[in-house]
Amino acid sequence: MRYDRINNSLYTKNRKKYLDKVETNSISVLVSNDELPTNADELLPFVQNTNLLYLTGIDQEDTYLILAPQFPDRRMREILFIKETSEEIAIWEGNKLSKKEASEISGIETVLWNDQFEKILPLILTESKNIYLDKNEHIRSSTEVETAQDRFISKIESKFPTFEIKRSYPILSENRMIKREEEISQIQRACEITEKGFRRVLKFIKPGVWEYEIEAEYSHEFISNRSKGFAYQPIIASGINSCCLHYNTNNMQCEDGDIILMDVGAEYANYRSDMTRSVPVNGKFSDRQLEIYKAVLNVKNEANKILRPGNTIDQYHREVGKIMESELLRIKLIDKTDIKNQDPKNPAFKKYFMHGTSHHLGLDVHDVGNFYVEIKEGNVFTIEPGIYIKEEKFGIRLEDDILIGRDNNVNLMENIPILPEEIEDIMN
């Protein structure tokens, strides 16, 4: 691994918090994600099941976890199954975790090779009332690919039809919304690496450079600082591209007078950062660009004041919509007639600000979490308002990562330049 090992007490605490919420005499089983193929004999880089990561810290394929806290044999109450390594595997694939290393990472004493899993599972089930299984139930998930979790659920239903299947996801989702100090440290580190990348590209951007060249500058800085790279597919969008919310072709040349919107973030230790900055390609905002920029910055600053414990994300988004409406009125992109005639289900401000303002952040960039429960201390959210004026061929979005605190929020990106004069000074 590139990152410093996290103390296994994090995973021990995470497992305890999870097990405190499952029914007595239950077994929980989590499986790692698949290695996904491309073509021929190639595979995409492995990405771990983040619920399994949350409970074990094990970032390796072909991994299984069994939790059975009331099982009579105490040694079998937590069992981690990992891929058996060998000299041949080490030659072809590199070193895999030993049992000792997996135990040190996870804090789990009983570590077995995964060829024992099929023998151990029925034994544990004989002393269990029901079984908790993990499945991706994220509200924004839309994949049609059958996952390792999907296949495992089908296998359990077929092989052990008399067992009642319970859902692990709601428990893990609720738990993961509150970040521990160790997790906040990793997100903060990811934000610091992102800052280094942003400061680097501010000195690189000028008329004539290509979007993919800017992407390469970020990538170099991220990987040089022990990150795997981008936390998600980067958006480097100049000119009219900045009005496309999920533009990631990154293949246009940046022209004098353009705004370039960069939605990028580094990962560190599998935790994500998520930043957006919008800067002038030539190093100087025009009067119009500056007017829109300041309007977006005002919305972001006001949103931070209401993203507080006791509110819900659903309520918060409605309140931010009112703030954006006020700003769009002030800069004359909409007028009172637009508001009077608007459809309540599609308010006038949506013409220029069509996405949500905040989402949970953590092991996933759109981290697990419920938008209808109250915001709590320890949540980490993005704040990312934007104004997109297609007819003027530019959009402005600004985004920081925010830790919800007891008395005040903490901006984990407070050191990343955002004031327009600071950006211009660095670029020039």
The average pLDDT across 185-209 equals 98
Provide the residue range defining the domain that includes 39.
9-176
Whether residues 112 and 204 share a domain: the answer is no
Same domain, residue pair 52 and 165:
yes
336 & 396 share domain? yes
Give the model confidence (pLDDT) of 341-368 as tens digits. Answer: 999 889 999 999 999 999 999 999 999 9
74, 28, 363, 309 alpha-carbon torsion, rounded to 10°: -100
The predicted structure's pLDDT at residue 87: 79
- The reply to whether 142 and 244 lie within a common domain is no
Distance CA 312, CA 319 (A): 11
Instruction: Yes or no: say if 94 and 128 are a contact pair by the CB < 8 Å rule.
Output: no
CA distance 121 to 104: 23
How far apart are the two ends of the chain, measured CA to CA in Å? Answer: 38
Amino acid found at 385: P
Which strand ranges, in their side-by-side order, compose the sheet holding 259-264? 235-238, 259-264, 275-280
Confidence band, pLDDT 50/70/90 cuts, at residue 371: confident
Q: Please tell me whether residues 171 and 185 are part of one structural domain.
A: no
pLDDT tops 90 at residue 144: no
Query: Are 251 and 308 in a shared domain?
Result: yes
- Cβ neighbours around 166 below 10 Å, total: 17
Q: Is 270 left (phi over 0), alpha (psi -120 to 50) or beta?
A: left
The pLDDT value recorded for residue 145 is 86
Which of 130, 152, 176 is the C-terminal boundary of a domain? 176
The two counts, helices (H) then strands (E), for the chain are 13, 16
Together in a domain, 159 and 216: no
Per-residue confidence at 132, pLDDT binned at 50, 70, 90?
very high
What pLDDT was estimated at residue 205?
Answer: 98
3-state secondary structure of 389: strand
Distance (Å, rounded) from C-alpha 382 to C-alpha 361? 7
Note whether 293 and 338 are same-domain residues.
yes
> Which tokens in the block code for residue 345?
């289900």
Strand (E) or helix (H) holding 395: strand 394-397
**Domain presence at residue 388:** yes
Answer yes or no: is 2 within a domain: no
Q: Which domain CATH number covers 34?
A: 3.40.350.10
Average pLDDT over residues 80-89: 88
Last residue of a domain, which of 144, 176, 208? 176
pLDDT of residue 139: 81
**How would DSSP label each residue in 46-88?**
P---HHHHHHH----SS-EEEE-TT-SSGGGSEEEEEPPP-HH
Separation of alpha carbons 279 and 287, rounded Å: 13
Query: What residues have CB less than 8 Å from 204, skipping those under 6 apart?
Result: 213, 214, 217
Residue 223: name the closest of 196, 256, 184, 257 by CA: 196
Instruction: Give the whole-angstrom CA distance, residue 416 versus residue 428.
Output: 17
Strand 386-389 and strand 380-383: pairing?
Answer: unpaired
Neighbours of 158 (CB within 10 A): 8
Nearest residue to 174 via CA among 311, 310, 368: 368
> What is the percent of the chain with per-residue pLDDT over 70, rounded to a whole number?
100
Percentage of the chain modeled with pLDDT above 90: 91
pLDDT of amino acid 224: 98
* Domain tally, the chain: 2
Mean pLDDT of 89-114: 92
* Res. 140 pLDDT band, cuts 50 70 90: confident
**Residue 280 falls within a domain, yes or no?**
yes
Q: Which residue has the tokens 């008395």?
A: 407
* Summary mean pLDDT of the chain: 96
> Is residue 142 over pLDDT 80?
no
